[in-house]
Amino acid sequence: MRQSKEQFRRFLLQKGLKSTRQREIVLDAFLRSSTHLSTEDLYQKVRRRHPNIGYATVHRTLKLFTECGLAEERNFGDGQIRYEWTGDKSHHDHLVCISCGVISEFEDSRIEQLQRDIAARHGFVMTSHRHDLYGLCAKCQEEKVRKGC
């Protein structure tokens, strides 16, 4: 958090960009939020306290976060880009509940290794991957049972 703000300031400086009130606000809101939020999510969040900040500013600031490595863009097939704080976390993949939308994370080094093998076998130099599991989370399963579906 503290060092994320530092990282962003250094990035701006080094790129000859300016540190502004709006960027501080957006970064602060971003860091305080649960991860995996869309531009709209963050815009709504920012807007509550700072109603005059525009959607475009939030959008452009998120792109800056991505560029400087503070955030990563994710796409879970729901038609919007979601931004994840990369922070201090290592690589991980996602479990997405198709009912309530909750996103949890997992990590499995055996899968990572198998992926590398597969890429190599196909002559690919792998630069990234996406691995999402979709299904019903425990809570939504219960609810379905309770409602008798």
Contact residues: DNA, CB under 7 A: 12, 16-23, 38-40, 52-57, 59-61, 63, 79-81
* Residue closer to DNA (CB basis): 80 or 115: 80
**The two three-digit tokens of residue 15, written as one number:** 């790129």
Distance of CA 38 to the CA centre of its chain: 8
Residues in the chain: 149
Give the distance between the most distant pair of CA atoms in the chain: 60
Q: What is the C-alpha to C-alpha distance for residues 7 and 9, in angstroms, rounded to an integer? A: 5
State yes or no: 68 annotated in a binding site.
no
* Residue closer to DNA (CB basis): 74 or 143: 74
CB of 55 to a second copy, least distance (A): 19
CB of 14 to DNA, least distance (A): 12
* Residue closer to a second copy (CB basis): 54 or 101: 101
Residue 92 touches a second copy, criterion: CB under 8 A = no
Residue 48 touches a second copy, criterion: CB under 8 A = no
Contacts with 35 (C-beta within 8 Å, 6 or more apart), sequence order: 83, 84, 85
In DSSP terms, which residues pair with 73 in a beta bridge? 83
Q: Which of 19, 20, 75, 80 touches a second copy by CB under 8 A?
A: 75
Q: How many CB atoms lie within 10 A of CB 31?
A: 17
CB of 120 to DNA, least distance (A): 32
Binding-site residue set for Fe cation: 91, 93, 112, 129
